[in-house]
Amino acid sequence: MSILPRSSSTHFSMHHLTHLQRLEAESIHVMREVVAETENPVMLYSIGKDSSVMLHLARKAFHPAPLPFPLLHVDTTWKFREMYAMRDQVAREPGIELRVYRNPEAIELGINPFTHGSAVHTDVWKTQGLRRALDEFGFDAAFGGARRDEEKSRAKERIFSFRTAQHHWDPKNQRPELWNLYNARKHRGESFRVFPLSNWTELDVWQYIHLENIPIVSLYLAAERPVVERDGALIVVDDDRMPLAAGERPQLRRVRFRTLGCYPLTGAVESDADTLPAVIREMLLARTSERQGRLIDQDSASSMEKKKQEGYF
C-alpha cells in the first residue's frame, strides 16, 4: 500500500460514515452521472415514500442549483385524494417543474380497475402511459424509486437499466455493471431506467424519512378510515367512484399503508402506528413484505418480470 500523504489528512481522525450516509452518497452519485451523461433525463414522481426520498436526494445532489430535470407523474386518475394534494403542493415549490401525463387512450376508453380488472387498468394507464409519456417528451433517462429488496425480479436489475427503443427490458442480457462505472451510451430512441435507490431497503427508507424529516402523505400513518374487504384485502373507499355491493357498507377501521398506488388496488394493513417511530417499530416486527398489499403483483407468479419487460417501471 502507498505511503500516507504528508498533508493535513495524516492527522485526521477517522470519520465513520453511517450506513445511511453511504446509501445517500451512492444515490447522489448515480443522479449526477445521469445528468452528466444523458441528454434529457426525467424523474418519475409517484408521490409515495420512495419518490419522496428520491426527490429529497435530488435536491441535495444539485444544491444550490435547481433540479436539472423535470418531475413526471404518470397519473391513472385513481390515486388517493391526499396524494393529488401532495403532488400539487410539490409542483408549487420553487425550482420544481412537474408534468402530469394521463394516457389519452385510457381516458378515451374510460379504463378503470372495476370494469377492466387490475391487469388491464395497470397496463393501459401505467405501462402504456409511461411509454407514451417518455416517447412524447423524448426523455432518454427516467429515474425510478424502485428498490431491489421489493421483489425477486427487481433484485436482478441493474442500477442503469437499458431499454430498447420499444421500451423492452431484456433480463437475460443485461449490460455488465462494474464498480460504480455506469455505461449510459445508447443509440437514438433507446433509453435508461435508472434506480438510485436500488440498494435501499424498506427499513432504510423509513429511517431516512425519520432522520431527515421528509414530508410524506399521512396515508402511511394509522388512522380511522372507511374500509371494505375485497379478496382478503382491506380497501379504503377514498371517493364515491367505488362500486359497493348491495348491502355492503364501508366500516371505519384503524389502518395504514406500507405502499401506495391506485386506491382500489392497494391493500391497507390494520395498525396503530400513527407516528414514524411507531411505523419503524412495526416494520421491525413485520412478518409480511410490503408488496403483499399490492393486488397487481398477485396476478401471476412472475407478473412483475413480465410487466417490466413490457415497459412497466
Partner 1 sequence: MANDPDAIPFEVREYLEAQQRKRLLRFIACGSVDDGKSSLIGRLLYDAKTLFEDHLETLQRESRRAGSTGDALDFARLLDGLTAEREQGITIDVAYRFFATEKRKFIVADTPGHEQYTRNMVTGASTADAALILVDARKGLLTQTRRHSFIVSLLGIRDVALAINKMDLVDYSERRFAEIRDEYLEFARHIGIGNVACLPISAINGDNVVDRSARTAWYHGPTLLEYLESVEVDEDRMQRIPFRLPVQWVNRANADFRGFAGLIASGALRLGDPVRVGPAGTQSAVTRILDGDRDVPVAVAGQSVTVCLRDEVDVSRGDVLSHPDSPPAVADEFEATVVWMHEQPMLRGRSYVMKIATKTVAATVMPLKYKINVNTLERLAATRLEINEIGVCDLELDRSIAFDPYEENRTTGAFILIDRMTHQTVGAGMLRFALRRSQNVHWQALDVNKVARARLKGHEPCVLWFTGLSGAGKSTIANLLEKRLHARGQHTYLLDGDNVRHGLNKDLGFTDADRVENIRRVAEVAKLMVDAGLIVLVSFISPFSSERRMARALFADGEFLEVFVDTPLSVAEGRDVKGLYRKARQGQLRNFTGIDSPYEAPESPEIRVETTAVSAEEAAVVILGELERRGILAGA
* Residues 276-305 contacting partner 1, CB under 8 A: 277-278, 280-281, 284-289, 292, 301-302, 305
Distance of alpha carbon 99 from alpha carbon 83, whole angstroms: 15
Judged by CB under 8 A, the number of residues near partner 1 is 77
Which of 85, 155, 244, 252 contacts partner 1 by CB under 8 A?
155
Contacts of 224 (CB under 8 A, 6+ apart): 252, 253, 254
Tell me 206's DSSP state. H
Show the site string, 186-225: x = touches partner 1 by CB under 8 A, - = not: xx----------xx-x-----x--xx--------------
Exposure b/e, 185-207, CB count within 10 A at least 16 = b: ebeeeebbbbbbbbbbbbebbbb
Q: Which stretch binds partner 1 (CB under 8 A): 23-31, 104-112, 115-123, 245-253?
A: 23-31
Q: According to the binding rule CB under 8 A, does residue 40 interact with partner 1?
A: no
Residue 25 or 120: the one with the smaller Cβ distance to partner 1 is 25
> Which of positions 161-180 make contact with partner 1 (CB under 8 A)?
171-172, 174-180
Of the two residues 109 and 301, which places its CB atom closer to partner 1 in the complex? 301
Q: Which is nearer to partner 1, 6 or 249 (CB)?
A: 6
Shortest Å distance, C-beta 297 to partner 1: 10
274 lies in the binding site for partner 1 (CB under 8 A): no
Q: How many residues does the chain have?
A: 313
Nearer to partner 1, 215 or 277 (CB): 277
**Dihedral through CA 182, CA 188, CA 193, CA 194, nearest 10?**
30
Asked whether the beta carbons of 59 and 24 are under 8 A apart, the reply is no
Radius of gyration of the chain (CA): 21
